[in-house]
Amino acid sequence: MSAPEIGKNLPEVALPSVSLAKVLKGQKALVTGANSGIGKATAICLAQAGADVVVNYFSGDDAARQVVADIQKSGSKAIAHLADVSREDQVQAMFKRMIEELGTIDILVNNAGLQQDAAFEEMTLQQWNTVLNVNLTGQFLCAREAVREFKRRGVVKEVSCAAGKIICMSSVHEVIPWAGHVNYAASKGGVMLMMKSIAQEVARYRIRVNSIGPGAIRTPINTAAWEAPAAYNELMKLIPYNRIGEPEDIGRAAVWLASDHADYVNGITLFVDGGMTLYPGFAEGG
Ligand code: NAD
């Protein structure tokens, strides 16, 4: 039987339903940028696994309220909190509220991110700064607050083997250069060494710091890459597994990385990308 033509004759993906069991029971999670796309799916998956969740968002009150309602259906607590992750005062106020209302934090998912694309010579300083401020500085500010609380509280063995877990939402573009997106690729390359350096520094306190590197995931950030059939077929040339990723593909990976099942996993990027980082152009070339 011949292989299916790229992007054709493939069914729309309906991910198989899985039980996320209650591997995160009793844990308190903060997901930034959680009212859309990957952040939303991750917040819901963490809640299905038993965590109470703070749903951070920047704009879109209704979408945030809907995520809170979805989480409550799974029996977990949820709080929507508006904050710009690139602003130190707003990040600190968000952590203060979380600790007052949920008691502590066990899991931070540093997910908020954006793109402002331009040809390199056209890129403005504002486009550069906006992307670096949200995608990199925002992750620094949230990770720093989380580490302060993890160290203050230490390990509570009934809750988790670790004193805390940080998951940074990186991208395949922490290793794959991306013309026309220099600010974005630089921010994710920065996330990679920030994550590894924090992991190295705080491992002795039993704090685990890892990244997820999504490939192409069906979210509003990249609608142009998958909505039109022609664009989708082009995209498939980059994805050996021959389907786009769904936000839940990332949410499920986040549950595992945050759980004690991954207790010996520290300082890595888990690529969840259908093989995009296998450089498929080399399958028949090179
Ligand atoms: P999205 O646009 O659906 O979601 C981005 C979220 O970030 C939104 O909730 C938005 O409100 C929030 N946000 C933006 N600026 C913010 C700020 N200043 N403060 C707080 N929140 C802010 O996009 P997505 O695809 O779900 O992206 C989520 C993360 O995944 C990003 O870090 C992105 O770089 C990364 N990622 C996405 C893909 C993909 O294919 N979709 C691939 C690799 C990496």
Q: Let me know if residue 64 belongs to a domain.
A: yes
Cα separation, 74 vs 44, in Å, equals 8
- Give the number of the atom of ligand 1 that is nearest the alpha carbon of residue 245: 40
Q: Are 108 and 163 in contact (CB under 8 A)?
A: no
CA gap 266, 199 in Å, rounded: 7
Structural domain contains residue 7: no
Residue 238, in any domain of the structure: yes
Q: What is the CATH number of the domain that holds 247?
A: 3.40.50.720
pLDDT in tens, 20-35: 789 999 999 999 999 9
Structural domain that includes position 136: 28-272
Q: What are residue 114's phi and psi, to 5 degrees?
A: -150, 170
Q: What is the pLDDT of residue 15?
A: 80
Interval between CA 169 and ligand 1 midpoint (Å) = 9
Question: Which residue's CA is the nearest one to ligand 1's atom 34?
Answer: 113
Tell me whether residue 10 is in a domain.
Answer: no
Q: Environment class of residue 231 by beta-carbon count within 10 Å: exposed (0-12), middle (13-18) or buried (19+)?
A: middle
Q: Which H or E run includes 82?
A: strand 78-82
Q: Is residue 230 situated within a structural domain? A: yes
CA of 202 to the centre of ligand 1 (A): 26
Q: Is 183 inside any structural domain?
A: yes
Look at the chain and report how many structural domains it folds into: 1
Q: Please choose from 58, 68, 181, 236 the residue to mutate so as to test ligand 1's pocket, defined by most ligand atoms within 8 A of CB.
A: 58
The residues near 225 (Cβ < 8 Å, ≥ 6 apart) are 216, 231, 232, 235
Report yes or no on 147 lying in a domain: yes
Instruction: Say how many C-beta atoms besides its own lie within 10 A of residue 28's C-beta.
Output: 24
Q: Is 205 a catalytic residue?
A: no
pLDDT band at 2 (very low <50, low <70, confident <90, very high): very low
Residue 210 contacts residue 164 (beta carbons within 8 Å): no
Strand partners of residue 30: 54, 108
Q: How far apart are CA 136 and CA 192, in angstroms?
A: 10
In a domain, 9, yes or no: no
> Above 80 in pLDDT, residue 277?
yes
Question: CA-to-CA distance for 118 and 120, rounded, in angstroms?
Answer: 6
Question: Of 57, 184, 205, 279, which is the active-site residue?
Answer: 184
Atom nearest to 35 CA in ligand 1: 9
Contact 64, 53 (CB under 8 A): no
Tokens of 39: 């952040």
Expressed in angstroms and rounded, the spacing between residue 212 Cα and the centre of ligand 1 is 13
pLDDT tens for 210-258 read 999 999 999 998 999 999 999 999 999 999 999 999 999 999 999 999 9
